[in-house]
Structure 1
Amino acid sequence: MRIFVTHILPEHLVAKYRLSFAACNFSRNLMSGGGFDKVYSIMPLFISGRMEEFEDSNNELIYSSMRHYGGLVAKLAVFIEQIKVFRHINRHDTVWLYNVSVLNVLLILLLKLCKPKVGVYAIELDFTPPTRKLCAMSLYLYLLNHIDGVIKLADSPLFTCENSVCLAGVTPDNGVEAPIIRKPCLEFLLSGVLQPDISSLPMALEAFAQVSDCRLHITGNSDSKQLQEYVQKYPNIIYHGVLSSDAYMDLLHSVTFQLSLRNPDWKDNQCNFPSKIIEALLHNRIIISTIHYLQIERIEYIETERSVEGFVKTLQQIRSMCDEELMDYANQSELVKKNFNPDVWNEWMTKIEHKSKK
């Protein structure tokens, strides 16, 4: 039996419990291929109190009553939950983990010590590099590099497990076709986490202030005074706040360009791959990125410098390009599906499992 241990809730509960939409979408996309016999969910540490009941035949929530009390007791519940999952695992099962973290570290140790025939594997989506040798992240990294196999979204030199493969993401197996771009327009989207090292928001604001015929749409949670000042001063900069899934998709389909302006020198950005890139490519948008990604080397995207001057230059170049040139970067959903669909993931999981047993 192949088991997936993750943290996912039905779509209508994701916002209520402040789970990551990107994380839940990833798990849901991967599960859509039918590659797992059983899925268990353990909630992040910040969730406490009574959980709203739901029925989901594809996902069993493991939720200890200790969480009802809040505080330290609720945080300790995560270890009780891992013990409960451990009891459900038989000695010849294989277990795939969503990241190596506090949500499964005890489970890994229990399996290695008490059920050594169980194959333990991880899907490492994002990792925060340790800042010192003796810390929790150092332990997670050690375990990640010493379990039976890994699928990683970034090929960081920190990840040394030899039985591994690098995949940029997973596309859903739902048969839904995204609208294609027929005529590109100068509409750009910056979305997600609006922290400077992740979104380069200050750089984007200043660049679009200088290129007034390019329109910047921004979504996500932000209390930036600079953002509010630019929105009030420049009519081509529009802040939409936090949007529902449907409203976000409507906005995504109205723009041509998705911005991914991460700081290439920040170590955290070397240990993950932006889910927004795969999502936007799947929806036929054109990607502009400050990082060169080997994971998507067969896909066309526009690279830019991470500086106001360099980004302004890129915007000016885009503005001067004819539609035929821009369309070379658009409408790549079929290629993305071919490279990152759940069947591809299931094939790699099987290869990794077989290799670990030789």
Structure 2
Amino acid sequence: MKNSLFISQNVPNTLVKKYNVSQAANNFCLHINELGYFSHHVAIPPANIDQNFQNQIEENTGIEYHLCRVFKHKGIGKAINIILDNIWLYFRILKAPEKNIWFYNVWTGNLLSYLLIHALSFKKVYILLADYNPARYNRWIGKSILWAIRQAKGVVSLSGRCNEVNHNFSCIPGIIPKSKISEQIGNFHRNKCFLLSGTLNKNTGIELALDVFKNIPEATLFLSGIISDDYKIKVEEICRKYKNIIYKGFFEKHSEYLDLLHSVDFTLSLRDPLSIVNHYNFPSKILETLAYNKIVISTIEYPELNGINYLCAPYDKKRLTTYIENLINTDSKSNTTITACLNNTEILIKKYSEEAWYDVFRSMENK
């Protein structure tokens, strides 16, 4: 009998763009939901979601979405609404039959409910930690969150570099359902096309990508996803001036994104290796891309990807430009590194598919 319940901040996929929610985080929690390990999934969407949101149990996923928007969602009214979200969640979990409660991250929006469940119930509370940034723990709220994480019965993290947060710690950097891992060797078109997708901001490399591909007119850079407000004008101007840089927008249909992904040869993950945020986090989109046996170029060498074939490049405009120029001008037929990157199927199934997650959940709950 299933005895575990999952709590996330998901929204229905159709609302990701409207509310500027991370598509990667939403997809990750959907994959966790599809595991079938949890008997129920309750989602309390982020604090920026307004009173127009409709509480519902989603028919195709079974996810129970709930928000309290009793007051106008601004200022003090917004703060009260968030407190009510937490109180509602506490009583919802209190009456749930499941003994093991898993939170997807602990943050200011769910900290109160987490502490109430931990202190005032007989439930065992665990955390699936996808967003750990020690820089935020310098303030009292951050320190409270870190203290709360340490009180959990256990933590499964997407990053193996924050194992000090809890005595019962395991790491799996992402989940890829076995059915979504391609058994076909990746197709290499030799078309010199690159893709940067997801949430497009400075931290995810949009500025570096623009600066590099302005200087490589023979290569094409496709951008897709949601652009942060501070880069929207710049991206529009550069796309008008440089015809090899093309913004495709946000794809409402995942199939349209996959069509673009399959049409390029290289995908980009351009994060600053010196940033404290990137030191402790792992971008799950890398695994999503590897599942299709596409070639990933990353500016960080991740210990979580030990044994996986991908390309590591420097996080520097001049050196990255030279790296990409050399890459597109190399005879790919004789490049064994590229050939290896087109087939990660076996190791992905072993390390990141459903069975690996079943094992880590069971192991942690049985300690």
In the alignment, is the contact (CA less than 8 A) between 1:124 and 1:150 conserved in 2?
yes
Q: Flag structure 2 segments of 5+ consecutive residues without an equivalent.
A: none
Distance 1:238 1:335 in 2: 33
Instruction: Quote the residue 1:274 is aligned against.
Output: 283
- Tell me the TM-score normalised to structure 2 length: 0.87
Compared CA separation, residues 132 and 275, structure 1 to 2 (3 A):
closer
Instruction: Quote the residue 2:235 is aligned against.
Output: 227
Structure 2 counterpart of 1:121, which letter?
Y
Structure 2 counterpart of 1:191, which letter?
S
In the alignment, is the contact (CA less than 8 A) between 1:29 and 1:173 conserved in 2?
no
In the alignment, is the contact (CA less than 8 A) between 2:32 and 2:175 conserved in 1?
yes
Instruction: Quote the residue 2:101 is aligned against.
Output: 95
SS at match of 1:123: strand
Structure 1 counterpart of 2:147, which letter?
Y
- RMSD between aligned alpha carbons? 2.4
Distance 2:110 2:137 in 1: 21
Distance 2:69 2:13 in 1: 23
Q: Flag structure 1 segments of 5+ consecutive residues without an equivalent.
A: none
Identity of aligned residues (%): 27
In the alignment, is the contact (CA less than 8 A) between 1:150 and 1:165 conserved in 2?
yes
Compared CA separation, residues 13 and 230, structure 1 to 2 (3 A):
closer
In the alignment, is the contact (CA less than 8 A) between 1:50 and 1:67 conserved in 2?
no
Offset at residue 180 of structure 1 (A): 4.8
Q: Deviations over 1:267-299 (max 9, x none)?
A: 111221112201110122101011010111110
Which one of 57, 60, 66 corresponds to residue 62 of structure 1? Answer: 66
Structure 1 counterpart of 2:101, which letter?
V
In the alignment, is the contact (CA less than 8 A) between 1:288 and 1:303 conserved in 2?
yes
Offset at residue 342 of structure 1 (A): 2.5
Distance 1:292 1:286 in 2: 14
Offset at residue 64 of structure 1 (A): 1.8
In the alignment, is the contact (CA less than 8 A) between 1:264 and 1:270 conserved in 2?
yes
SS at match of 1:66: coil
Which deviates further from its counterpart, 185-194 or 313-322? 313-322
Instruction: Quote the residue 2:301 is aligned against.
Output: 292
Aligned length: 353
Distance 1:54 1:86 in 2: 18
Instruction: Quote the residue 2:366 is aligned against.
Output: 354
Instruction: Quote the residue 1:217 is aligned against.
Output: 222
Compared CA separation, residues 49 and 251, structure 1 to 2 (3 A):
same
Structure 2 counterpart of 1:74, which letter?
K
Offset at residue 105 of structure 1 (A): 1.1
- Tell me the TM-score normalised to structure 1 length: 0.89
Distance 1:53 1:142 in 2: 32
Instruction: Quote the residue 2:248 is aligned against.
Output: 240
Distance 1:29 1:151 in 2: 15
Instruction: Quote the residue 2:326 is aligned against.
Output: 317
Compared CA separation, residues 308 and 179, structure 1 to 2 (3 A):
same
Distance 2:178 2:34 in 1: 6
